[in-house]
Amino acid sequence: MSWPMSIVFAVCALVSAPLDTSPAYFTGLARPRAPRVEISREGGPVILIVVDAMRPDRMTPYGFARRTTPQMDLLADEGLILTNYFVNANWTRPSTASLVTGLFPAVHAVEGERDRLTEQFVTLAEMLGRVGVPTGAVVGNGNAGSAFGLSRGFSFYADTVRHWQGLPSAEQVVELAVPFVSKHASEPFF
């Protein structure tokens, strides 16, 4: 028998060998769990503003000459400007799933256009809700919406995109958020 033929037989023998399918065999392949953290009602409100497809090189706080983002400029004047940042994915849905779970896309498995966040992964809104923190979200992008499991844990949720047409204006999103923020202004909220 020639050596290429012996390699073929060796490969066939490996493929046809019985596989160990016990859970112990696959331990190293198990998805890692999110770290345990203590959640508290202490502190002030957390307002997370996620803007999809905004380029820093076209924003005044990052040095763009024209004043293109006046409201963001006000936030930057009173806050922190980050210049070294990373995203977990190159598009909205997996990035948002990572943002709300603290997990990489390879772990939460929201990577393709039909993927949704499954119940096995706990969101930040769920954790905060469990300790009595009011949680609210107004979503203006269908890729970050309830159809993909990203609304879990919010006690107030406004999904403004229904049919992938006509994204809401910033004014519409703010108008929906103001009642929630006003109602909980004297307590921590997310």
- pLDDT of 16: 40
CA-closest candidate to residue 102, choices 84, 91, 83, 117: 117
Q: Which residue has the tokens 């844990």?
A: 153
d(CA 110, CA 31): 14
Residue 159's φ and ψ, nearest 5 degrees, are -95, 100
Q: Residue range 38-63: average pLDDT?
A: 82
Structure token pair of residue 1 = 């028998």
Contacts of 89 (CB under 8 A, 6+ apart): 95, 98, 105, 111
Compute the mean pLDDT over every residue in the chain, rounded to the nearest whole number: 80
3-state secondary structure of 179: helix
Tens-place pLDDT, residues 111-146:
998 999 999 999 999 999 998 999 999 998 888 888
pLDDT class of 32 with cuts at 50, 70, 90: low
Which long-range contacts link 109-113 to residues 24+ away (Cβ below 8 Å)?
110/148, 110/149
Contact (Cβ atoms closer than 8 angstroms) between residue 109 and residue 118? yes
What is the residue extent of each domain of the chain? 45-183
- Residue 163 or 92, more confident: 92
- Residue 8 or 48, more confident: 48
pLDDT of 6 > 50? The answer is no
Q: What percent of the chain has pLDDT over 70?
A: 76
d(CA 20, CA 149): 34
Q: Which residue has the tokens 């060998």?
A: 17
- Residue 115 or 54, more confident: 115
Cα first-last separation, the chain: 70
d(CA 175, CA 161): 15
